[in-house]
């Protein structure tokens, strides 16, 4: 059983991403949505944490939320998969159980 | 695949209802079934027909109503959460001796059991909130 | 309904500042009627929900913490508390309410409902679930 972790908060404001990564097991997926997408941009304080996590976890980010916030797709950390809402649905179907870090 | 979607926040204050609605539309486009959308906490505020957003803004309640009308999606508002926040259907308003109701077309008010039942019947249950 | 699914209610918020903890508890109680495999987890500020000595007279809100003691009667007997979250807040299990349930398969022996687990153990528990409702 693998979980799809959904993170919708900025790590600069709240601890949702940190808690998610603490409790995510190797093989799980993480999708960053809403304000959570800011963690996908390279060069920030949390980029190292994301890159570390990518060794064990597949990380995706919701493209429309990046675009809305003016985060250019070429700023996204290499290896993070940019998906649209359809891709989000596919991920929820692909993993066994979604978990939203609210 | 069958999905149950839980919405924990009202419209406009948080993006949760927007994301949930986009998710539901995308899931339908992909041929999935939305077994139920369950509105809990402030999410019950998605179901008042009295919201009047500016004309150039999206109308979230109408978006839900349209999904119910076009795709027969079951939109369920939690009764306990709704009573606290003043979301009333005609029967409940009458039972409480209130002078008005405000539930939007396509929504129904029911118990929390509908959320659990949705979780049992669906392949995936996904929560959108703050 | 014959299907039994594993439901986990994950709580990460302190009580009273927002309504999430109270309304989470309301769902948990309802879930008992469906005879599912239900457990709860308390992570981050969610651990504050279980603190003993809650007194709400001064804020004019109902103290709902006694409800946690009733969970055992609803066959909700596993309340996982993340050790790392306790430690980060300077808390130990002794700061939490003493919640018990009676095991009818073991001559009604009283057992602890609160189970302190490490992050790694909780991650394993989460992976076994079929529905995770987070509050």
CA distance linking residue A86 with residue C49, whole number of Å: 37
pLDDT the model gives residue A26: 97
Query: Considering chain C, what is the average pLDDT of its residues?
Result: 96
The ipTM, to two decimals, is 0.97
Look at chain C and report how many structural domains it folds into.
1
Structural domain boundaries, residue A15: 3-101
* Residue C59 contacts B where some CB pair is shorter than 8 Å: no
User: Helices in C1-135 by DSSP H: which ranges?
Assistant: 20-31, 66-70, 83-88, 119-127
CB contact under 8 A, C129 and A100: no
CATH number of the CATH domain containing C94: 3.40.1260.10
Look at chain A and report how many structural domains it folds into.
1
Cβ pair B66, B34 in contact under 8 A? no
Contacts of B16 in chain A (CB under 8 A): 8, 34
CA distance linking residue B67 with residue B107, whole number of Å: 11
Is a pLDDT exceeding 80 seen at residue C135? Answer: yes
Q: Which residue shows structure tokens 């995706």?
A: A60
Among the listed residues B7, B37, B44, B78, the single catalytic one is B78
Contacts of A3 in chain C (CB under 8 A): 126-127, 132
Query: Do strands C109-112 and C100-103 pair parallel, antiparallel, or not at all (unpaired)?
Result: antiparallel
* Residue C61 contacts B where some CB pair is shorter than 8 Å: no
pLDDT tier at C2, thresholds 50, 70, 90: low
Cβ pair B91, B49 in contact under 8 A? no
pLDDT the model gives residue A1: 79
CA distance linking residue C50 with residue C86, whole number of Å: 11
CB contact under 8 A, C133 and B119: yes
Residues C87-103, buried b or exposed e (16+ Cβ, 10 A)? eeeebeeeebbebebee
Mean pLDDT of all residues in A48-60: 98
Distance from CA of A52 to the nearest CA of B (A): 26
pLDDT the model gives residue B7: 98
Per-residue pLDDT of chain B (130 residues; tens, 9 = 90+): 999 999 999 999 999 999 999 999 999 999 999 999 999 999 999 999 999 999 999 999 999 999 999 999 999 999 999 999 999 999 999 999 999 999 999 999 999 999 999 999 999 999 999 9
* Residue C47 contacts A where some CB pair is shorter than 8 Å: no
Nearest chain A alpha carbon to C124: A25
* Residue A68 contacts B where some CB pair is shorter than 8 Å: no
Q: Which of A92, A98, A101 to mutate to test the interface with B (most CBs of B within 10 A)?
A: A92
CB contact under 8 A, B40 and C20: no
Per-residue pLDDT tens for C21-66?
999 999 999 999 999 999 999 999 999 999 999 999 999 999 999 9
Is a pLDDT exceeding 70 seen at residue C1? Answer: no
Is a pLDDT exceeding 90 seen at residue A64? Answer: yes
The CATH superfamily assigned to B2-128 is DsrEFH-like (3.40.1260.10)
CATH number of the CATH domain containing A28: 3.40.1260.10
A–C CB contacts, 8 A cutoff, strictly below: 40
B87 part of the active site: no
CB contact under 8 A, C133 and B111: no
Residues 6+ apart with CB under 8 A from B44: B10, B77, B78, B81, B82, B85, B87
CB contact under 8 A, A86 and B29: yes
Structural domain boundaries, residue C94: 6-134
Nearest chain B alpha carbon to A84: B26
Nearest chain A alpha carbon to B127: A100
Distance from CA of C90 to the nearest CA of A (A): 17
């Amino acid at each position: 059983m693998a979980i799809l972790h959904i993170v919708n908060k900025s790590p600069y404001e709240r601890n949702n991403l940190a808690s998610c990564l603490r409790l995510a097991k190797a093989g799980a997926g993480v999708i960053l949505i809403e304000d959570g997408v800011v963690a996908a941009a390279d060069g920030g304080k949390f980029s190292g944490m994301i890159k570390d996590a990518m060794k064990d976890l597949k990380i995706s980010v919701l493209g429309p939320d990046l675009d809305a916030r003016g985060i250019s797709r070429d700023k996204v950390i290499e290896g993070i998969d940019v998906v649209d809402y359809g891709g989000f649905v596919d991920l929820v179907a692909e993993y066994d159980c979604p978990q939203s870090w609210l | 695949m069958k999905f149950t979607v839980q919405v924990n926040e009202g419209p406009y204050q948080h993006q949760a209802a927007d994301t949930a609605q986009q998710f539901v539309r995308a899931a339908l486009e992909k041929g999935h079934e939305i077994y139920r959308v369950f509105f809990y906490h402030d999410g019950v505020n998605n179901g008042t027909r009295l919201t009047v957003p500016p004309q150039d803004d999206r109308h979230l309640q109408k978006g839900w109503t349209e999904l119910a009308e076009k795709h027969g999606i079951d939109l369920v508002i939690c009764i306990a959460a709704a009573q606290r926040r003043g979301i009333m259907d005609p029967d409940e308003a009458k039972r409480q001796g209130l002078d008005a109701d405000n539930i939007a077309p396509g929504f129904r008010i029911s118990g929390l059991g509908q959320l659990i039942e949705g979780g049992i019947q669906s392949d995936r249950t996904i929560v959108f909130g703050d | 309904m014959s299907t039994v699914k594993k439901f986990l209610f994950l709580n990460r918020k302190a009580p009273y500042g927002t309504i999430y903890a109270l309304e989470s508890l309301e769902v948990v109680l309802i879930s008992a009627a469906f005879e599912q495999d239900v457990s709860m987890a308390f992570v981050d500020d969610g651990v504050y929900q279980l603190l003993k000595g809650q007194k709400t007279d001064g804020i004019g809100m109902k103290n709902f913490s006694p409800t946690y003691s009733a969970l055992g009667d609803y066959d909700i007997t596993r309340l996982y508390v993340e050790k790392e979250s306790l430690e980060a807040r300077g808390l130990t299990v002794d700061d939490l309410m003493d919640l018990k349930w009676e095991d009818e398969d073991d001559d009604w022996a009283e057992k602890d409902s609160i189970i302190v687990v490490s992050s790694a153990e909780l991650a394993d528990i989460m992976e076994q679930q079929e529905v995770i409702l987070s509050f």
